Amino acid sequence: MKLRLLASALVLAPLVARGASPQVPALPAGAETRWIVQKPEEIVAYVVFDPATVAGELPRAFRFITLDELASNGIAWAGEHIAAHPARGRWAASFLEIVRADTFTIDGRSPRWPAHGAVALWCARVASTAPDSELGPGRPLLVLQFWMPDPAYADYMRTKGHHATYGEVALDRAPDGTWRGSITADGLNATAQCTPAGSVTGGAGSAGMQAFFPPASSTVRDVVRVAFAGHRVQDCRADAAWTLAGRHPLAIAAVLSPSNFEFGYDLVGGAYRQ
């Protein structure tokens, strides 16, 4: 099962050819902020979880996309996972990533990064409860967690319409080329390890869009839309590993294999009033 296929079917916006050089798609008019991320490096895990553990975070206008739904639409990995774990058909699809970047600004302001500082993002694939509703451009995702290691900047993000909470997040590359990440947050201790291996996919000419909706418990009500280009993806070696522990709902989720390493793209975004 190739991760690039899993990513396309599960959480990432489709990568669309845009020509010989990366061109970030234009965002809709009306953004109230400007978010810029350049040259990120990240470890990504694809995760299935019990929606009952986060039921209070789902806005009434949305529903989680389940493994049963994906399997009925011909997504092979979902059918295979249900066959191995029959009780998980109603579980939901999500991704977890640990990211560091050369540039990370919202309206020109950057975080104060600790040593090896990074951010962590847990997002679920969702759809509207009203099939004919218009959610705007970009694949819709529900932000279950966005951990930022600078507490003052997490506060700043919320004032700008970007959901975030404080958490100690780090990502660093060892001399042997292995990336190691960690998340220490309320109720969660997580670690990740990935050695990129094999061919690189994506790159020049790839582009996409996503829409991040805040959880129901957030003080933020804006939707953040992002556009990106130049996205590169490489599988992690077979010895890649994630550990999730604690009382957080993520700690009892199931990490799928393989993980991957993603890097090199440019991203712009902005908060929009719902």
Cα-flanking dihedrals φ and ψ of residue 263, to 5°? -165, 170
What integer pLDDT is reported at residue 204 of this predicted model? 63
pLDDT in tens, 57-112: 999 999 999 999 999 999 999 999 999 999 999 999 999 999 999 999 999 999 99
Domain architecture of the chain: domains with CATH: 3-272 (2.40.400.10)
Highest mean pLDDT among 3-7, 25-29, 58-62, 167-171: 167-171
d(CA 1, CA 261): 16
CB-CB contact of 32 with 95 (8 Å): no
For residues 118 and 131, which has the higher predicted lDDT (pLDDT)?
Answer: 118
Whether 20 has a pLDDT exceeding 80, the answer reads no
pTM of the model as a whole = 0.91
Whether 12 has a pLDDT exceeding 60, the answer reads no
Q: What number of other Cβ atoms are within 10 A of residue 168's Cβ? A: 16
Whether 52 has a pLDDT exceeding 50, the answer reads yes
What integer pLDDT is reported at residue 35 of this predicted model? 97
**Percent of the chain with pLDDT strictly greater than 70:** 91
Mean pLDDT (the chain, rounded): 90
pLDDT in tens, 29-44: 999 999 999 999 999 9
Cα-flanking dihedrals φ and ψ of residue 113, to 5°? -80, 130
Block residue for tokens 């009382």: 247
Mean pLDDT (whole number) for 142-169 = 98
Whether 7 has a pLDDT exceeding 50, the answer reads no
